[in-house]
Copies of this chain bind each other. A is one copy, B any other.
Amino acid sequence: MNFLTKSNEDYLEAILILEEKYDRVLSVNIAKFLNVSKPGVNRAMNILKENGLIEKTDYSEITLTTKGRELANQVYDKHKTIKSFLIQLGVSEETAENDCCLIEHVISNETYEKMKLFLKKETAN
């Protein structure tokens, strides 16, 4: 799907989620949201920036570029779809949330498509 590592995909996704929730996104918010250290966030932001996915200067807040927002949305959509799929399977909301974070990084597009198909069928009833 893209050129980011799992970890950086998570950072990117977190920015989108936090942006929807608050007016601006600070490193410290990402750190708290993902339960990682501030230097961890800092390094990830540099990588996202190098890849043209966010805009940021030293000590500034973080904003998604158009490209970054698109990619983040793709990742987040996948996240939400897999979560719904797991819930449909009978998994609890909490576990679904945890597991989908991990599954979203490893499954093929084919499996992802089949999950969407399954959801469509089940929801039709």
- CB pair A106–B108 under 8 Å, yes or no, is no
- CB pair B107–A102 under 8 Å, yes or no, is yes
CA distance A96 to B111 in the complex (A): 8
- CB pair A117–B90 under 8 Å, yes or no, is yes
- Count class of interface residues, chain A: 20 to 34
- Residue A51 at the chain B interface, CB threshold 8 Å: no
CA distance A106 to B107 in the complex (A): 11
- CB pair A89–B111 under 8 Å, yes or no, is yes
- CB pair A95–B108 under 8 Å, yes or no, is yes
- Residue A26 at the chain B interface, CB threshold 8 Å: no
- CB pair A102–B110 under 8 Å, yes or no, is no
Closest beta carbon of chain B to A96's beta carbon, Å: 8
Q: Which of A93-114 contact B (CB under 8 A)?
A: 95-96, 98-99, 102-103, 106-108, 110-111, 114
- CB pair A99–B95 under 8 Å, yes or no, is no
Contacts of A108 in B (CB 8 A): 91, 95, 98-99
- CB pair A86–B111 under 8 Å, yes or no, is yes
Tell which of A107, A111, A114 has the most Cβ of chain B within 10 Å: A111
CA distance A54 to B118 in the complex (A): 41
Contacts of A65 in B (CB 8 A): none
